[in-house]
């Protein structure tokens, strides 16, 4: 883990409220695992804490992030004039296990970002991607080149209509005699639903990346602590990837 200064040198809109930024760093970033994240510091914003973002791509002195506009920092990153000075602390956290088997991936909205690189690193039988509407879809064309993809929108404006968790459940029911590993990222209720489905249908392991508020990103501030049946965990250091059994199990 190291802090490197850099500049946002390019920005591209990918979908409604979603954009990609390319950061040119002063040093090489190094290796990262799928699910690792960085804390992005904004130098010209007073008293603002860095924000966590998953690593979409990193190579040599370049790192790319995909960001959804939700508030002050993400709003600033969308509008700032380029080049724009930032700092990058990382890679942080753990990453998804690179395991063999019948692997399925499922994402909700922006949760597709930490899962993207996993497709290049493990055998994936099918990638289930859910979005709210057609306007919010991104990255699926890139995934389609590597893996079979199953797409849904909540309103049916593109792909299958409804929640992607329901389509994954159908798939698991049709293949009940087989055992699966599931890799996931999405909002908390989405992960809870996934856990309920997996438990009901006897899925061996569900690994999921969690989002919480984070102030430091490396285990010092306790800002990201969540209570689990086995005690308190720090999402930034013990995660962000957890076996759902350790979070929702008894």
Ligand X SMILES: Cc1cc2nc3c(=O)[nH]c(=O)nc-3n(C[C@H](O)[C@H](O)[C@H](O)COP(=O)(O)OP(=O)(O)OC[C@H]3O[C@@H](n4cnc5c(N)ncnc54)[C@H](O)[C@@H]3O)c2cc1C
> What residues make contact with ligand FES under the rule CB under 6 A?
214-217, 219-224, 234, 236
Give the alpha-carbon dihedral of 76, 22, 39, 30, to 10 degrees.
-170
Whose tokens are 């992030």? That residue is 65
Using the minimum distance from each CB to ligand FES, give the nearer residue, 97 or 219.
Answer: 219
Q: How far apart are CA 221 and CA 223, in angstroms?
A: 5
**Closest CB 185 distance from ligand X, rounded Å:** 8
Give the binding range for ligand X (CB under 6 A) out of 69-77, 125-133, 136-144, 147-155. Answer: 69-77
Question: Which among 216, 176, 209, 212 has a CA at the least distance from the CA of 36?
Answer: 209
The verdict on 21 binding ligand X (CB under 6 A) reads: no
Contact 7, 62 (CB under 8 A): no
Residue 216's binding partner among ligand FES, ligand X, none (Cβ under 5 to 8 angstroms by kind) is ligand FES
Over the window 178 to 217, marking each residue x when it contacts ligand X by CB under 6 A and - when it does not, the resulting string is ---------------------------------xxxx---
Q: Which is nearer to ligand X, 25 or 73 (CB)?
A: 73
The closest of 43, 106, 42, 99 to 74, measured between CA atoms, is: 42
Nearer to ligand FES, 4 or 236 (CB): 236
Using CB under 6 A, which of 19, 29, 32, 37 touches ligand X? 37
C-alpha–C-alpha distance, residues 131 and 163, integer Å: 8
35 binding partner (options ligand X, ligand FES, none; Cβ < 5 to 8 Å by kind) = none
Choose between 117 and 211: whose C-beta lies nearer to ligand FES: 211
What angle in degrees, to the nearest 10, is found between the helix axes of 164-174 and 188-201? 10
Kindly tell me which of 113 and 129 has the beta carbon lying closer to ligand X.
Answer: 113
H/E element holding 200?
helix 188-201
Contacts of 121 (CB under 8 A, 6+ apart): 34, 98
Residues interacting with ligand X, by CB under 6 A?
Answer: 37, 51-54, 66-68, 70-75, 110, 113, 211-214, 240
């Amino acid at each position: 883990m190291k802090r490197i200064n850099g500049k946002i040198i390019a920005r591209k809109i990918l979908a409604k409220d979603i954009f990609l930024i390319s950061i040119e760093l002063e040093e090489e970033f190094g290796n990262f695992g799928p699910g690792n994240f960085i804390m992005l510091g904004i130098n010209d914003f007073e008293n603002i804490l860095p924000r966590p973002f998953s690593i979409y791509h990193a190579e040599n002195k370049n790192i790319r992030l995909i960001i959804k506009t939700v508030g002050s920092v993400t709003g600033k990153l969308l509008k700032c004039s380029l080049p724009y000075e930032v700092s990058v602390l990382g890679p942080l956290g753990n990453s998804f296990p690179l395991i063999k088997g019948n692997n399925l991936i499922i994402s909700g909205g922006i949760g597709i970002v930490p899962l993207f690189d996993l497709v290049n690193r493990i055998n994936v039988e099918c990638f289930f991607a859910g979005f709210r509407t057609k306007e919010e879809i991104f990255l699926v064309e890139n995934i389609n080149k590597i893996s079979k993809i199953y797409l849904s929108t909540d309103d049916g404006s593109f792909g299958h209509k409804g929640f992607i968790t329901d389509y994954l459940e159908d798939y698991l029911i049709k293949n009940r005699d087989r055992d699966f590993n599931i890799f996931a990222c999405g909002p908390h209720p989405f992960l809870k639903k996934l856990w309920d489905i997996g438990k009901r249908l006897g899925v061996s392991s569900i690994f999921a990346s969690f989002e919480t508020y984070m102030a430091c990103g490396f285990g010092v501030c306790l800002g990201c602590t969540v209570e689990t049946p086995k005690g308190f965990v720090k999402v930034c250091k013990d995660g962000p990837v957890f076996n759902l059994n350790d979070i929702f199990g008894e």
